[in-house]
Amino acid sequence: FRREIIWNVGSVSGFKTRAKNWIRQHDIILYYVKSREFIFNKQYLSYSKKYILRFNRKDSNGKRYRMREKNIQYLDKMKGIPIGTVWNDIYSYQTRTNSKEYLGYPTQKPEKLLERIVSASSNEGDIVADFFCGSGTTCAVAEKLNRKWIGIDVNEDAINIANKRLKELRTFTNIKNNTKSLF
């Protein structure tokens, strides 16, 4: 176990606000690694326009910078704001269902969320596995990020949704639809 990440899913409305309790508007993501030798590619948020405007000077090459007390600080030398363990910038489909990528699957996660996780914890060409793949979001993101992927689910509706989604991304010849009974 390495970290607990709090994913703030956004403002909750509708029937969830009627609960006679504190309204839950976050999910917890548990971050585990297999060994002490693990991949972690630090992720960054883009700077706000207001922050970028502080770099109000340009050098002879057109690079933006600002004067600090003892030195010059160039904007292009900074990757952005390092992402911590509380994520407030990605909204859930529980709060925003009008996204083009939303397929109506009840536990579907936004691609942006999985993009962050897959990018941080793997490199191009690595294998990403999701053993409860639902609508196939992890597999779709892994494909877009040039990762190999394995997606497994026991729910036949989930398998059909994921198959359709992945076939729209690219022509696959090796998607296996093994829906054998477990009992």
**Beta strands 72-74 and 64-67, pairing class:** antiparallel
Q: Model confidence over 110-129: pLDDT tens digits?
A: 999 999 999 999 999 999 99
- Bridge partner list, 4: 30
Look at residue 121 in the predicted model and tell me its pLDDT. Answer: 97
Phi, psi of 74 (to 5 degrees): -90, 135
Look at residue 178 in the predicted model and tell me its pLDDT. Answer: 53
List C-alpha distances in Å: 41 to 1, 60, 79, 122, 171: 17, 33, 12, 8, 30
CA distance 68 to 140: 44
Inform me whether the pLDDT recorded for 33 exceeds 90.
Answer: yes
Both tokens of 36, joined, read 């002490």
Please report, for the chain, the start and end positions of each structural domain, with discontinuous segments joined by +.
44-82
The Cβ of residue 96 has, within 10 Å, a number of other Cβ atoms equal to 13
Averaged confidence pLDDT in the chain? 88
- Bridge partner list, 149: 128
Q: Model confidence over 162-176: pLDDT tens digits?
A: 999 998 887 565 556
State percent of the chain over pLDDT 90.
67
Phi, psi of 47 (to 5 degrees): -70, 150
Inform me whether the pLDDT recorded for 69 exceeds 90.
Answer: no
- Given a contact cutoff of 8 angstroms between Cβ atoms, the answer to whether 121 and 144 are in contact is no
Beta strands in the chain (DSSP E): 3-8, 26-31, 44-45, 57-58, 64-67, 72-74, 81-82, 86-87, 127-130, 148-151
Residue type at position 71: N
Task: Report the range out of 3-7, 9-13, 168-172 with the highest average pLDDT.
Answer: 3-7
13-17, 113-117, 138-142, 166-170: least confident range: 13-17
What pTM was estimated for this model as a whole? 0.81
Look at residue 182 in the predicted model and tell me its pLDDT. Answer: 38
